[in-house]
Chain A
């Protein structure tokens, strides 16, 4: 298996523009997580899905952020409009189970810079 695949790896955009980050989880994994990593706040959980259904989005910072999972093999995280404080590395991770015995498999991340 190719692992969790994220795109783009790097994105530079201007304030106010729409940003869409994409993730393909590992086949057969029922759980998908979106995290954001910054120096100041570390690794924050934004939202997670189970069987394509959003379960907990309490970590989404504000209404400018939205996430979807239209099918088991694809998820998007959208920021509209983007702001400089959204600059961070965004990680997608997937897992087979949510019992604590299953490890998370992370993608390589999408580094977002908003000017």
Chain B
């Protein structure tokens, strides 16, 4: 079964708006990663947040982590049409080897 599940399954916004995607997971983790997948391509790593961090920024990306709620969010600010892609979170169980497991992803469409 998937460790991480993204929500919503699909998101459609206008260029310039912010996009927020959420990830929920089941067991304690060491850290959480977000990946992006353009249509027909492989996944590309975006950002990693460790379990002792609450927030992390990278350019227009902002990731938060709430370990008490076992959830994370990815915020893309001032979205662009080029941000259209699927976004996945990847988690690995704490205390053992990190076996990256993914959810079904959030499909983001940014309309120009």
CA distance A109 to B2 in the complex (A): 20
Cα–Cα distance between A35 and B37 once the two chains are bound (Å): 14
- Majority DSSP secondary structure for residues of B touching A: strand
Residues of chain B within 8 A of A33, CB atoms compared: 100
Task: Give A6 Cβ to nearest chain B Cβ, in Å.
Answer: 8
Across chains A and B, the number of contacting residue pairs, with CB separation under 8 Å, is 57
Q: Does A49 contact B (CB under 8 A)?
A: no
B contact residues around A35 at 8 Å (CB): 102
- B106 CB → nearest A CB, Å: 11
Chain A count of residues within 8 A CB distance of the other chain: 22
Q: Of A13-21, A75-83, A97-105, which binds chain B?
A: A97-105
A99 to B90, CA, bound (A): 13
Inter-subunit contact A98/B101 (CB<8 Å): no
The reply to whether B48 and A101 contact each other, CB–CB distance below 8 Å, is yes
> What residues make up the interface of A, taking CB atoms closer than 8 Å to B?
4, 33, 35, 41-43, 45, 48, 56, 91, 93, 98-101, 103-109
